[in-house]
């Protein structure tokens, strides 16, 4: 069976530094898949290649068996992959609803001729419906007229997810979504991710919060110094000697 996402020999060189070095892994449809590794292991660079932000120096990214590596980000988004960033990329001066509408823009492209003829009204209504239902899904329905910049940290994180979900992607790449969250916000965010997955969205998650990773993921790929290190379910990874060594070497502990 073809995996939803597959990276083959994925490699990124920055001058003399090989940040990602011949990486191979697969993400199965319907899974929450973790990508972990000590600081500087190459996780964000891998995300940047999958989402089209970087063109790989070598290797391929396949979505449903079709190569997407080297496509620009908006083409990758149109194929069904969107990402969130480590730090908030919300428009703080815009309303919560307008931020969600920006997310729908991934697949809603107003056409000047359609606009002149007034033919894009249905597409606009469709975008509005998707933005609103995405906000509802993430528990932000009552906040659509608030400014995004006025929301609490937890709500801003949920809005970041709602913006990504507004284009109804097949795969969401989440880069450290739990950073700066208190335990209650973390619990709520984990619940949202489980619901998102149950709705049919596959998730690839980069995260340092090992409790969240171990509690959420079906499968985990661990990388170290740009290379594949280990793969398996939470208990396998937690007890894997190479993973423990990689984290202890970096003075971090696997939960
Ligand atoms: N644009 C760039 N130019 C040069 N070097 C880079 C660039 N981006 C990343 N690197 C280097 O590539 C390596 C991998 O970085 P990357 O950010 O992908 O790691 P990471 O696993 O996401 O780390 P962290 O967990 O700290 O976010 C690091 O040595 C980093 O300094």
Instruction: Encode pLDDT of 226-239 as tens digits.
Output: 999 999 999 999 99
Residue at a domain's end among 167, 202, 227: 167
> Are 178 and 98 in a shared domain?
no
- Residue 255's domain comprises 1-12+19-80+169-255
> Are 112 and 178 in a shared domain?
no
Residue 86 lies in a domain: no
> Are 179 and 199 in a shared domain?
yes
> Are 70 and 101 in a shared domain?
no
Q: In degrees rounded to 5, what are phi and psi of residue 141?
A: -55, -40
- Residue closest via CA to ligand 1's atom 11 equals 19
> Are 224 and 193 in a shared domain?
yes
Q: Is the CB of 223 under 6 A from ligand 1?
A: no
- The ipTM of this complex is 0.97
| Helix (H) or strand (E) run with residue 194 in it | helix 183-198
| % pLDDT > 70, the chain | 90
Label residue 83 by pLDDT band (50, 70, 90): confident
> Are 119 and 244 in a shared domain?
no
Contact, 14 vs 198, CB < 8 A?
A: no
> Are 198 and 234 in a shared domain?
yes
Instruction: Note every long-range contact of 174-177, with CB atoms under 8 Å and residues 24 or more positions apart, other chains counting.
Output: 174/83, 174/84, 174/203, 174/204, 174/205, 174/206, 174/207, 175/43, 175/44, 175/47, 175/83, 175/84, 175/85, 175/86, 175/206, 176/86, 176/206, 176/207, 176/208, 177/84, 177/205, 177/207
Residue 242: which CATH number? 3.40.50.300
176 alpha carbon – ligand 1 mean position (Å): 14
Residue at a domain's end among 116, 149, 167: 167
Q: How many CB atoms lie within 10 A of CB 242?
A: 12
> Are 203 and 125 in a shared domain?
no
Residue 217 lies in a domain: yes
| % pLDDT > 90, the chain | 64
pLDDT at residue 146 is higher than 80: yes
> Are 128 and 207 in a shared domain?
no
Place of tokens 């697969």: 26
Residue 196 lies in a domain: yes
> Are 158 and 138 in a shared domain?
yes
pTM: 0.88
Q: Compute the average pLDDT of residues 85-97.
A: 82
Q: Is the CB of 45 under 6 A from ligand 1?
A: yes
User: How many distinct structural domains can be found in the chain?
Assistant: 2
> Are 110 and 232 in a shared domain?
no
> Are 185 and 252 in a shared domain?
yes
Residue 208 lies in a domain: yes
Q: Is the CB of 19 under 6 A from ligand 1?
A: yes
């Amino acid at each position: 069976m073809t995996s939803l996402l597959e990276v083959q020999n994925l490699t990124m060189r920055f001058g003399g530094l090989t940040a990602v070095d011949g990486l191979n892994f697969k993400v199965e449809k319907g899974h929450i898949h973790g990508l972990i590794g000590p600081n500087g292991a190459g996780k964000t660079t891998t995300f940047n290649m999958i989402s089209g932000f970087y063109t790989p120096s070598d290797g391929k990214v396949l979505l449903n068996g079709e190569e997407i590596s080297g496509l620009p980000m908006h083409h990758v988004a149109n194929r069904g992959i969107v990402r969130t960033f480590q730090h908030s990329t919300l428009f703080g001066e815009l309303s919560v609803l307008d931020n969600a509408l920006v997310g729908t823009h991934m697949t809603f492209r107003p056409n000047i001729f359609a606009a002149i003829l007034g033919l894009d009204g249905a597409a606009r209504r469709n975008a509005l419906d998707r933005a609103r239902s995405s906000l509802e899904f993430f528990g932000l329905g009552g906040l659509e007229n608030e400014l995004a910049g006025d929301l609490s940290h937890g709500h801003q994180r949920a809005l970041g997810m709602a913006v990504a979900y507004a284009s109804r992607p097949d795969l969401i790449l989440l880069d450290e979504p739990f950073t700066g969250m208190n335990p209650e916000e973390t619990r709520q965010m984990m619940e949202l991710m489980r619901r998102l997955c149950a709705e049919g969205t596959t998730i690839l998650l980069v995260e340092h919060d090992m409790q969240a990773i171990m509690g959420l993921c079906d499968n985990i790929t661990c990388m170290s110094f740009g290379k594949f290190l280990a793969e398996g379910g939470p208990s396998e990874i937690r007890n894997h000697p190479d993973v423990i060594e990689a984290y202890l070497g970096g003075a971090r502990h696997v939960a």
